[in-house]
Amino acid sequence: MSEVHLTINSQSVTASRGQTILAAARTAGIDIPTLCYHPALSSHGACRMCLVEVKGMRGLQTACTCPVAEGIQVETNTEAVIEGRRFALELLFSERNHYCMYCPVSGDCELQELAYRYGLDHWRYPRTYHKMAVDASNHHFVMDPNRCILCTRCVRACAEIAANHTLGLRERGSRSMIMADVSVPLGESSCVNCGACLQVCPTGALIDARGVYGGHEEDLTHTLTTCIQCSVGCALDVVTRGNRLLRVEGVWDSDPSGGLLCVDGCFKPLYDERQRITTPQIRRNGRLTPADWDEALDIAAKKLKNGSALGLAACATTNEALSTFARLFARNKAGRMEPAAPQLGYGRSAQLQDILAADLIVVAGAHPLSHQRVVGYFIKRAVDQGAHLALLDLTGSDLEDYATLLVNSEDAGLLIEKAAHVERAVVVYGVDLTPGAIKALKPLVDQSLFLALDAARNGKGAEAVGLEPLDVEEAEVLYFLLGEQRENGAMVGRLNGAFTIVQACYYSPLIEHADVVLPTPLWAERSGHFTNLEGKVSSLNAALPMPENVREEAEVLDTLIAML
């Protein structure tokens, strides 16, 4: 990339050709205010906050869209620039309802902050009093168009990050509105609740329904951790105040998803209504009753010592817990409860980011839009950028609308033909991969990368310690490591009178049949490590303390090992 030399406020700056003035200034540590600009999104140039003067050019330029050029002289703080910014701000305040006194984001609002910066102590323009209905039809967040400045950050986030294209701008002069689909309430729209729009909104127009009024930024704690709701393992920023969980955000520029989340990571865990287990319990005279840890562990250890035992782990926990679990059952049989994607026996593995760079994506035996949703969104993003999507032996897939090729493994020739014309193909496959498909995909081995979607959350962590998929079988003692995995009663009929120990976070039908129950922390309380489907290890950091009588699984399993 060739270099360009320019001056900004008389300071010499070197930039690369094609960079915008804004990017060049930020690299050089020169501040230019922005509002509709967001580093994770394409530039829009609509808010006029980043106005600058370029010597010799007529009028003022928007620094976020204006490219650098050799020798230009840029001024970022002239009187004309400041007056232009102030004028734009005053219009924004006059157009809608910006009475900060009853706005939940007052004190943390980018628009308000700019108004302070430019000393807006009153508005010179009369206000309009258009009545605009608040859209609270979505369970997780509220849209209040009265606070909206039409910066379109949300529209761009929905299109560029989530590739969902739910949001759009309905242009009607001063009555322009952000709308969902063809102007339907958000709750009835195609929105998948990824939370991206909410996270980029600079004002109080998009508001988290749960965390709202939870406190100002200065009162809040941000804990970076990893989502363990599926095998993608997106980076999370968990926002708390004291011991209160307010909301979850994505982390820009983070591995593996770059800040994108899905409803399972961003919202659902905060609305989990299952009843929490907060103390160990043992069965006495046929009834589960609270017990102290020593007593419960004592009984569990005695049973494990004296009978044939089988350990089954839902991989909804840390690497540490899984490896201790494997050690506990070293002399018995243990495995994971979820199936794994079949071994192909060929092919190099892909990283998530490879999907975005692919020109052909083949999906087989997997439903990423429902189970590893961010993978699904990545695929849609690649399709938006022109990649072909082929579905192999996949019927009823919610990816069908985006596919250009639907093939059976018998007609795999079509797929091979297509692959011959592309440079970078990625094959995304899952547990339902058919033997036919395994054979059909083999010819793609040279130009393709392969991404296995694990059905278990921490399947890779389990794989690393040798916990293979295993079905329940006859044993005197059955030990289930469930964590917060949902249990719908499927195991209940298969206990065959075994003494049943369950280590779990929530009550479930299985708990009602257990003999010993040991409580576990939930996702936001966990510390340790997680291995995602790419094999990358990331850390879990507790954002909330565990309830008093709850212990980390690894610690409990370690104690049991010591007792045997």
Could you tell me the smallest distance in angstroms from the CB atom of residue 447 to other proteins?
57
- Identify the H or E element spanning 235: strand 235-241
The item of other proteins, ligand SF4, none sharing an interface with residue 154, based on CB under 5 to 8 Å by kind, is ligand SF4
Could you tell me the smallest distance in angstroms from the CB atom of residue 45 to ligand SF4?
14
The item of ligand SF4, other proteins, none sharing an interface with residue 201, based on CB under 5 to 8 Å by kind, is ligand SF4
Task: Tell me how many residues contact ligand SF4 (CB under 6 A).
Answer: 52
Q: What is the DSSP letter of 203?
A: S
CA distances from 85 to 9, 65, 107 (A): 17, 16, 20
How many CA atoms does the CB half-sphere of 229 hold within 13 Å? 21
Site for ligand SF4 in 204-263 (CB under 6 A): 204-206, 227, 229-230, 232-234, 257, 261-262
Site for ligand SF4 in 92-121 (CB under 6 A): 98-100, 103, 105-106, 109, 111-112
Among 127, 175, 348, 486, binds other proteins (CB under 8 A): 127
Taking phi over 0 as left and psi of -120 to 50 as alpha, with beta for the rest, 346 belongs to beta
How many helices and strands (H and E) does the chain possess? 16, 27
Q: Is 147 near ligand SF4 (CB under 6 A)?
A: yes
Among 13, 201, 313, 444, binds ligand SF4 (CB under 6 A): 201
Q: What is the 3-state secondary structure (H, E, C) of 284-316?
A: ECCEEEECCHHHHHHHHHHHHHHCCEEEEECCC
How many CA atoms does the CB half-sphere of 315 hold within 13 Å? 35
Contacts of 442 (CB under 8 A, 6+ apart): 346
* Strand, helix or coil for residue 70: coil
Residue number, 193 or 319, with CB nearest to ligand SF4: 193
CA distances from 304 to 64, 287, 469, 482, 514 (A): 65, 21, 21, 18, 15
Q: Is 397 near ligand SF4 (CB under 6 A)?
A: no
Task: Tell me how many residues contact other proteins (CB under 8 A).
Answer: 18
SS3 content of the chain, % helix, strand, coil (to 5): 30, 25, 50
Contact stretch for other proteins (CB under 8 A) within 8-16, 99-107, 272-280, 414-422: 99-107
Q: Is 58 near other proteins (CB under 8 A)?
A: no
Q: Is 31 near other proteins (CB under 8 A)?
A: no
Could you tell me the smallest distance in angstroms from the CB atom of residue 363 to ligand SF4?
16
Pull the structure tokens for residue 243.
């011991």
Residue number, 218 or 410, with CB nearest to other proteins: 218
Contact present, 356 and 448 (Cβ < 8 Å) = no
Among 8, 64, 115, 261, binds other proteins (CB under 8 A): 115
Could you tell me the smallest distance in angstroms from the CB atom of residue 128 to other proteins?
10
Q: Is 218 near other proteins (CB under 8 A)?
A: no
Look up tokens 């140039």; give the residue.
Answer: 45
Name 13's bridge partners. Answer: 6
Could you tell me the smallest distance in angstroms from the CB atom of residue 129 to other proteins?
4
Contact present, 40 and 161 (Cβ < 8 Å) = yes
Q: Is 122 near other proteins (CB under 8 A)?
A: yes
Residue number, 213 or 395, with CB nearest to other proteins: 213
* Strand, helix or coil for residue 86: helix
Could you tell me the smallest distance in angstroms from the CB atom of residue 376 to ligand SF4?
9
The item of ligand SF4, other proteins, none sharing an interface with residue 32, based on CB under 5 to 8 Å by kind, is none
Greatest CA span in the chain, whole angstroms?
90
Q: By rule CB under 6 A, what string of x and - marks binding of each residue 69-88 to ligand SF4?
A: --------------------
Binding site for ligand SF4 (CB under 6 A): 98-100, 103, 105-106, 109, 111-112, 147-154, 157-158, 162, 164, 166-167, 178, 191-197, 200-206, 227, 229-230, 232-234, 257, 261-262, 264-265, 372-374
Binding site for other proteins (CB under 8 A): 99-103, 106-107, 112, 115-116, 119, 121-123, 126-127, 129, 131
